[in-house]
Amino acid sequence: MTLLVIAFFLVDGVVEIVWAIAGRDNDGWVWLLASGVLSLAVAVLLFAGFPSTAAWAVGLLFGVNLLVTGITLVMVGMKSRRAARGGTPTGERGQGA
């Protein structure tokens, strides 16, 4: 089970880093990059102490990763929302005149 979680963290980290690099023109790309790097760091930490970390660290680090990923997605959404609002002229709100 621990090796499966390590593989998940590796894949999650790589996907988030690629997603951040591909979306560099968006405001929240730094948050995605940080979340991806954290996922890779968690995978390395779990693998480094593999036999002994199987009992306690999997749940703790998985929870931390889910929390950080959730915060990251909220921040990316907020940045995208601000960018979308800033891109429309002040008189137009999308509600028809």
Q: Could you read off the pLDDT of 53-91 as tens digits, one per residue?
A: 666 777 777 787 788 888 888 888 887 777 777 755 444
Q: Does 92 reside within a domain? A: no
Query: Token pair of 11, please?
Result: 């894949």
User: Which range of residues forms the domain containing residue 23?
Assistant: 2-84
Instruction: Give a yes or no: residue 90 inside a domain.
Output: no
pLDDT of residue 54: 67
Indicate the number of domains in the chain: 1
The per-residue pLDDT for range 2-33, each reduced to its tens digit, is 788 889 889 989 998 998 899 888 777 888 89
Whether 93 maps to a domain, the answer reads: no
- Cα angle: 75, vertex 46, 48; to 5 degrees: 130
| Residue 92 phi, psi (nearest 5) | -100, 125
What's the pTM value of the predicted model, to 2 decimals? 0.65
Tokens coding 88: 């429309």
What is the model's pLDDT at position 15? 92
Domain for residue 33, yes or no?
yes
* pLDDT number for residue 97: 44
Q: Looking at the domain assignment, is residue 89 inside a domain?
A: no
